Amino acid sequence: MSALALSVLLSLVSAVAYAAGAILQERVATDTADRPYAPLHNGVWWAAVVLNGLGAVLHVVALAYGPLSLVQPLGALTIVFALPMAALFVGRGAGHTAWRGAIMASVGLAGLLALTDGADSQSLAGGERLVLAAATFGAVGLLFLVAQVVGRRVVRSMVLAGAAGAAFGIASVFTKTVAVDWTSEAPTVQAPSLVVIAVLAACGLLLSQAAYRGAGLAAPLATVTVVNPVVAAAVGLTLFDEQFRYGVLGTVLALGSGVVAAGGLILLTTERLAVQTREARQHGKAASAARPSSWDRPPDDTEAPSDPDAALPQVGEGVDVGSVPRPRTHLEVEMWSRAVAGGS
């Protein structure tokens, strides 16, 4: 088997591992709603962690055997694999709108990454690493805070998924930097960068887990899948002197691919919002059907106790006031069931 074929095979297996991990994460989010971030006592969640780690390792090995321009776009197949796998193994099928959104996001991302021309391997200086790490933690923290005040569950999940994708993307940037600078003294010299990688990877995992809570599988997974490499590519374009292929034409095509990917994410978001609205309406109808019929009858005034603090009689009800032999705190009245026109 050639190195290129091995790289493609590893990339495909990596995408399948990521998809399986996402399916398990979404299942855990549904079953353990009280633990949105880290259900440590759930074995299924640890299986998802192992699958995500396996996908990451296979992706790195695929990069060692094949070009970045091939391996990165193949990673976009994660969302395409996840939908049929979810329908096959856990019985959670996706509608036509979700499929269209997932395919649009994958095609747009693949086109964007295929047009990115990686320059020679470079590294970041110590000051640049510090600034990038601080900016990343600040942005991820801000997105987390925004997610806490968002009312709609789907929008909140998309914000959390965007934060997770950003954390994963910058972790990839630091991984590339450490790989370029790796020497015999690397464990000591690269210790700060290794800590940043570990913290960002953990943040991405926990945020992505929370993103699946109440938002289904497709929308959060597509957001993480798109934002992750896009953030990494943006850093590469600005700090690593990478550029788009084919000059101005490549830049225009890349922007078009970005629009397609964004359109896919918007389609997935609106599809999930429509599903939740429909489920809420069905839930309301079911609750109305289960309500006792006596709730819909007007109150029987003859059975209801009188309100001693009522200021005036209601229009449409007859009032018979008896004599009051001595002063009392409240005036006792008897409400008759007959209607009196004009409310005299």
Confidence (pLDDT) at 252: 86
Confidence (pLDDT) at 191: 79
- Output 60-68 pairs: Cβ under 8 A, ≥24 positions apart: 60/175, 61/10, 62/6, 62/7, 62/8, 62/10, 62/11, 62/14, 63/7, 65/3, 65/4, 65/6, 65/7, 65/10, 66/3, 66/4, 66/6, 66/7, 66/8, 66/11, 67/7, 67/118, 68/116, 68/118
Which of 263, 297, 209, 220 shows the shortest CA–CA distance to 28?
209
Q: Which residue stretches of the chain have pLDDT < 70?
A: 1, 33-38, 66-70, 72, 90-94, 117-123, 182-189, 241-242, 275-276, 279-280, 283-344
Confidence (pLDDT) at 343: 47
Rounded to two decimals, what is the model's pTM?
0.68
3-class SS of residue 334: strand
Confidence (pLDDT) at 321: 53
pLDDT tens-place string over residues 257-277: 888 888 888 887 777 777 667
Confidence (pLDDT) at 26: 84
Tokens of 305: 């106790």
Answer whether 121's CB lies under 8 Å from 148's CB: no
